Amino acid sequence: MEWKNLSFKKDGNIAILSINRPKALNALNTQTLRELDEAITEVEKDEEIYVLIITGEGRSFVAGADIGEMKDMSSLEARKLAHKGIKVFRKIELMEKPVIAAINGFALGGGCELAMACDIRVASEKAKFGQPEVGLGITPGFAGTQRLSRLVGPGKAKELIFTADVIDANEAYRIGLVNKIVSMEKLIEESINLANRIACKGQIAVRLAKTAINRGMETDIETGMSIERELFGQCFSTEDQKEGMRAFLEKRSPNYKLK
Ligand code: CO8
């Protein structure tokens, strides 16, 4: 897979996708969003990939949408770009395979929104987070108002969005925006370790669990519980469920086949 603003690596069942536009601190322009969309489609199709890691090249994860590209946009053009970003990030959120954001540096505006569309966030101690849009005279536009409120609660989300404050990794961890903090040197290694801990489990179950959590978070708890019950039942029509339970009883490691 070849792109201008992305780099891609595959190692066993783990894929690493890096936003690679470091001169602009990996700001998301239309082309980068298009490439990200294509790359996600490829990752979805590739049966060897179990877990995707998204990170950024250089000192930034993603410093937001491209301000140069946005500055003279009409209202219609801005809506179209927002739609594009929302669609790509939603695709990441809804893809069956788990996605880890390995946040190396600035995750601002669209960058924070990209990280929040991933399932799990691992931050380097150098990472910085914020929704600085109101400082530019705009609101967040890639679903930051929605995902930040759901992740850290509406009060904290409003504080961060209204003030445009940029917070460090410790504060992001304290408010529940990231799952853990690691050193910059260990960021990719630790993210791969985490990905491998997921990749050795039954992938049908991992994917159904992701669906159950996502769909459950977007509905009431009764509906969420009935979604879980359905997906739980589905597991029992898979060979992996038989293998997982047989392996436990035979005191050996399971050999999952994604069937
Ligand atoms: N867009 C375009 N270029 C950028 C961006 C960006 N978001 N961020 C940094 N760059 C560029 C700079 O212009 C600079 O380019 P050049 O070398 O050509 O001058 C280069 O990257 C390096 O940046 P700095 O010199 O500013 O580096 P510093 O270390 O001094 O500062 C910061 C780093 C603090 C990250 C600073 O660059 C910054 O504040 N960047 C902007 C952060 C921001 O406001 N992000 C939010 C953007 S708005 C957004 O994301 C909305 C999402 C929804 C959009 C909906 C579609 C319409």
pLDDT at residue number 192: 98
Nearest CA, atom 53, ligand 1: 141
pLDDT digits (tens, 9 = 90+) for 192-240: 999 999 999 999 999 999 999 999 999 999 999 999 999 999 999 999 9
**Atom of ligand 1 at shortest distance to CA of 84?**
56
pLDDT at residue number 106: 98
Q: How many helices (H) and strands (E) does the chain have?
A: 11, 10
Question: Greater confidence, 1 or 91?
Answer: 91
Residue 1 has pLDDT above 90, yes or no: no
Confidence of residue 108 (pLDDT cuts 50, 70, 90): very high
pLDDT digits (tens, 9 = 90+) for 27-42: 999 999 999 999 999 9
CA separation for the pair 109, 177 (Å, rounded)? 14
Nearest CA, atom 40, ligand 1: 63
Residue 188 CB coordination number (10 Å): 19
Which strand (E) or helix (H) includes residue 11? Answer: strand 6-11
Backbone φ/ψ region at 14: left (φ over 0), alpha (ψ -120 to 50), beta: beta
Kindly list the catalytic residues.
113, 133
Span from the CA of 27 to the centroid of ligand 1 (angstroms)? 7
Nearest CA, atom 44, ligand 1: 132
129 exposure class (CB count in 10 Å sphere: 0-12, 13-18, 19+): buried
What 8-state DSSP symbol labels residue 94? Answer: H
Nearest CA, atom 8, ligand 1: 63
User: Please, what is the average pLDDT of the chain?
Assistant: 97
Span from the CA of 67 to the centroid of ligand 1 (angstroms)? 7
Confidence of residue 186 (pLDDT cuts 50, 70, 90): very high
Name all residues whose Cβ lies below 6 A of ligand 1: 24-25, 27, 63-68, 70, 78, 81-82, 85, 106, 108-110, 132-133, 136, 140-142
Span from the CA of 25 to the centroid of ligand 1 (angstroms)? 7
Residue among 23, 67, 73 to mutate when testing ligand 1 (max atoms within 8 A of CB): 67
Span from the CA of 68 to the centroid of ligand 1 (angstroms)? 9
**Atom of ligand 1 at shortest distance to CA of 66?**
1
Average pLDDT on 74-96 reads 97
pLDDT at residue number 2: 79
**Atom of ligand 1 at shortest distance to CA of 68?**
2
Nearest CA, atom 14, ligand 1: 24
pTM above 0.95, yes or no: yes
For residue 105, give the amino acid letter.
G
Residue 162 has pLDDT above 90, yes or no: yes
CA separation for the pair 107, 51 (Å, rounded)? 21
Span from the CA of 138 to the centroid of ligand 1 (angstroms)? 14
Average pLDDT on 175-197 reads 98
Average pLDDT on 122-130 reads 98
